[in-house]
Structure 1
Amino acid sequence: MIFMKLEDLSKNDDFIQREVRKERLEITFYYFKSLCDEKRITDHLITPFYELNRINELEEYIKSFEEWSFIKGEKEAIEKVFNGCVIILHEHKLYSVKLEDFEVSGIGESTDESVLQGPKDSLSENISISLNIIRNRYRKETLVSKNKKLGSTKTNINLLYDDELCDPQILAHLNNKLKDIDVDVLQSAGQLQKILMDDKWCHFPMFLTTERPDRVVVNLSQGKIVFLIEGSSWVLLGPSKFYDFFKSMDDPVELPVVGKFLISIRYIALMITLFLPAFYVAVISYSPEILKVQFALLIAGNRISVPFPSYFEIIFMMLMAEFLGEASIRLPRTISSSATTVGGLILGQAASQAGLIGNVMIVVAAAVSLSIFVIPINAMHQAIRIIRYPLIILGSLFGAIGVLIGALALIAYLCNLRSLGKPYMQLFANN
């Protein structure tokens, strides 16, 4: 029964069942190559086996290891193999020897997904190292690993999922998609995401991208599938929901009230960065009576010297913010932050003094530019930045009614999206 349970683990592509024979002696090794050091297995187990003459010598040799044990039950055998042990079978007797391999040389620090608390390590561009990190954090026998090769270059990808929690319909849907993939070169998680998306023109991310092992483990425990890609430290997580992109790995660490407050702050920031520019244009151009008299007069006074309509102001400032953001990415890291900060200050002041924009416009542009970075996942930034411009156009043409129509159309569009066949817009689902 124990042997059958161990052999069931062969559905994992990184699980090894290796038989070794010498005359009348025969033993079988069971282990995960992503958890154990195969060189030590060869040097300390397989090579000495060929030098032994009797089985009694083998048992004595196994007992010479510091961390060895005699396996008595099915549960113990499974626990040992998932803790980096090699299970040795001979004549219906099971022994375990710990030859764990924990990678540290290929592990770097996560720089693009910073957190205040929690681990700082990131995944690796080497799939074996990434798999080692994940298996050491998620030690469940239901974790399944499947290898696939895609593209003419035969890029190796690895699918990880919890067989007990993952929806079989999602797996079937994904396998059908992978069979139809025809691509020359596959090099990154973003490229794989575009291939797997149903709507090629959709600019909202259908999969989470991350380089953090703790986020991977949390999503595995929620029944999601992880895509490891050879040559990329970034992995895909799916199916994803809209609210997944507003979660930070600091949230589970914080006190419950603080965590909920931080999540609500992110949704407020989403509303500001998405709708504030459009409503500014709509109110200034069509409905200034919505504002208090003093505030409306203040804005009108600031705009006396501005020769352009309000939509030109906001689009001009937002484009300048986009240019500064792109410049900060392309410039060398040693000067990018100072150059973009000074450039933004000089640009805003000069534009205001030249009469191209009003002072209130600078405040609006600053609030919009800052609030976008409150959203934790960078992929969602890009989608929100694109949506702002159609909303501004609607606000400039039809006023507040146009912005409202745009918001309803956006919600309807999001509700129609699917990630691996699952609804995308589930804001209040328990996960």
Structure 2
Amino acid sequence: MRLNELKKNDDFIKREVKYGERKITLYYLKSICDEEKITDTIISPFYEIFKMDTFVDYIQSFEEWAIIDKEKVAIDKIFGGNVVISLEDKIYAVKMDKFESRSISESSEESVLQGPKDSLSEKISTSLNIIRNRYRKDTLIVKNHKLGQNSKTNLIVLYDNTLCDHENLLYLNNKLKNIEVDLLQSAGQLQKFLMDRKWCPFPLFLTTERPDRVVTNLSQGKIVFLIEGSSWALIGPARFYDFFKSMDDPVELPIVGKFFILIRYIAVIITLFFPALYVAVISYTPEILKIQFALLIAGSRISVPFPSYAEIIFMMIMAEFLSEASIRLPRTISSSATTVGGLILGQAASEAGLIGDVMIVVIATVALSIFVIPINSMHQAIRVLRYPFIILGSLFGAIGVLIGAFALLTYLCNLRSLGKPYMQLLTNKTL
């Protein structure tokens, strides 16, 4: 075998171990293999076991081992974290990988007031350990897959065999077989390959880093995907209302939990339709407002040289800039920079007569309501959809907004997640 050609890699190790007339040759990458473990579990036993047949039996006692018969297979094994062992006339591969990851930490993106604080890990075995310790049913099935021609990323599919819809599993297996990708590194990438509609703005799968959300969805018969190197799990099939539930809701008293869910839906309606209706009413039908309120808005816009739709789009884009800055800047300065920037921008624009005072209230209301959505992927989708509604409101007034809302509802009713209706309201189990 031409494994010596891998010497062009500085982290490639070829190590010959001799004891008397016996000899083995080890091939591995020190960057992804645990050298201490190799010494303790392979090299030291080689000196202690005097018969080669006994040593072969010892190699075959490892949990993950294989006999290699092709050069390409050997190279793939080496890059997969295996040690290739050449002895006598046979070649074996033993898993000795080392995966550096952070320790289990608190969930940073999905905060809760009550409940567990830990999050999933980038190491897939650690994440599986956390889930297994919380979901101890013997019906929990674990299936391994590899995706990515270059990355060969480990993917684990989890589901409860007694609760999961097997039509979903059949649909999923067909999807996974047809995925052709060079690199797979995150749950978001996998979601795009599993979606039927390429340009769909709505997330058709839940993404979460919380083990309790994973376990809850497993108990509802859903399928969970864990990806090596990503601390985020992908869950499907998802439904629209799944994105508006927090893990605090089951902990709260029933009436309190339902109230908070209602608040989130109201917030979505406000952030999606309020700017468009403001433009529609100001531009076409201001007479539907009380005379005092209409005069207040008109007075605040006396010095504004732009139409209402340009005014609100300008301010919303500025708000998007501030939101992106708060994400991209270092945490030590992001909060202060965006707060100061927002205050200065709003006050300066108002004093310069570029925007009305009422507009600042509208933008502040919209900016606050969008952050009520607990799942970030739905939060991003709603942010994008606000602008088409503003355009409809500026062109056709309130009628345009209503037509857009009807078209959006129709579109949502036609969406499918793993073949299941996205807007299905009645299920056997609810959170």
Q: Which residue of 2 aligns with 1:91?
A: none
| CA positional deviation for 1:105 | 7.6
- Where structure 1 has 5 or more consecutive residues not aligned to the other structure, the ranges are 1-38, 48-103
Q: Which residue of 2 aligns with 1:94?
A: none
Report whether the alignment pairs 1:145 with 2:142.
yes
Which whole-Å CA distance do the structure 2 matches of 1:381 and 1:124 have between them? 24
Which whole-Å CA distance do the structure 2 matches of 1:369 and 1:355 have between them? 21
Aligned residues: 334
Q: Which residue of 2 aligns with 1:226?
A: 224
Report whether the alignment pairs 1:235 with 2:230.
no
Where does 1:268-307 land on structure 2 (aligned, <5 Å)? 268-307=266-305
Q: Is the 8 A contact 2:163 2:220 kept in 1?
A: yes
Q: Which residue of 1 aligns with 2:105?
A: 108
| CA positional deviation for 1:403 | 0.3
Which whole-Å CA distance do the structure 2 matches of 1:350 and 1:105 have between them? 44
Q: Name which of 186, 189, 193 aligns with 1:191.
A: 189
| CA positional deviation for 1:106 | 2.8
Which whole-Å CA distance do the structure 1 matches of 2:353 and 2:261 have between them? 39
- Where structure 2 has 5 or more consecutive residues not aligned to the other structure, the ranges are 1-36, 46-100
Q: CA 1:293 to 1:428, structure 2 compared with 1: closer, same or farther past 3 Å?
A: farther
After superposition, give the CA deviation of every residue in 1:327-346 in whole Å (9 maximum; x if it has no partner): 11111100100110110011
TM-score for both structures, normalised by structure 2: 0.76
| CA positional deviation for 1:425 | 1.0
Q: Which residue of 2 aligns with 1:401?
A: 399
Q: Which residue of 2 aligns with 1:422?
A: 420
Which SS does the other structure have where 2:371 is aligned? helix
Report whether the alignment pairs 1:207 with 2:217.
no
Q: Name which of 155, 165, 179 aligns with 1:181.
A: 179
After superposition, give the CA deviation of every residue in 1:161-187 in whole Å (9 maximum; x if it has no partner): 000000000000000000011000000
Q: Is the 8 A contact 2:206 2:236 kept in 1?
A: yes
Which whole-Å CA distance do the structure 2 matches of 1:416 and 1:276 have between them? 25
Q: Is the 8 A contact 1:149 1:156 kept in 2?
A: yes
Q: Name which of 309, 314, 325 aligns with 2:323.
A: 325
| CA positional deviation for 1:378 | 0.3
Where does 1:154-165 land on structure 2 (aligned, <5 Å)? 154-165=152-163
Q: Name the amino acid aligned to 2:422.
A: Y
Q: Name the amino acid aligned to 1:185.
A: L
| CA positional deviation for 1:423 | 0.2
Q: Name which of 225, 248, 255 aligns with 1:250.
A: 248
Q: Name which of 190, 193, 216 aligns with 2:214.
A: 216
| CA positional deviation for 1:359 | 0.3
Q: Is the 8 A contact 2:119 2:209 kept in 1?
A: yes
Which whole-Å CA distance do the structure 2 matches of 1:105 and 1:231 have between them? 11
After superposition, give the CA deviation of every residue in 1:372-426 in whole Å (9 maximum; x if it has no partner): 0000000001110111101000000010000000000000000000000000012
Which SS does the other structure have where 2:394 is aligned? helix
Q: Name the amino acid aligned to 2:311.
A: E
Q: Which residue of 1 aligns with 2:127?
A: 130
Q: Is the 8 A contact 1:348 1:362 kept in 2?
A: yes
After superposition, give the CA deviation of every residue in 1:242-270 in whole Å (9 maximum; x if it has no partner): 00000000000000000000000000000
Q: Is the 8 A contact 1:327 1:336 kept in 2?
A: yes
CA RMSD between the two structures: 1.8
Which SS does the other structure have where 1:374 is aligned? coil
Which SS does the other structure have where 2:121 is aligned? coil
Report whether the alignment pairs 1:171 with 2:169.
yes
Q: Name the amino acid aligned to 1:117.
A: Q
Q: Name which of 408, 411, 414 aligns with 1:410.
A: 408
Q: Which residue of 1 aligns with 2:343?
A: 345
Which whole-Å CA distance do the structure 1 matches of 2:406 and 2:368 have between them? 25
TM-score for both structures, normalised by structure 1: 0.76
Q: Is the 8 A contact 1:106 1:129 kept in 2?
A: no
| CA positional deviation for 1:352 | 0.5
| CA positional deviation for 1:427 | 4.2
| CA positional deviation for 1:146 | 0.4
Q: Name which of 368, 371, 379 aligns with 1:370.
A: 368
Q: Is the 8 A contact 2:283 2:394 kept in 1?
A: yes
Which SS does the other structure have where 1:139 is aligned? coil
Q: Is the 8 A contact 2:102 2:122 kept in 1?
A: no
After superposition, give the CA deviation of every residue in 1:171-230 in whole Å (9 maximum; x if it has no partner): 000000000110000000000000110001101000000000000000000000000000
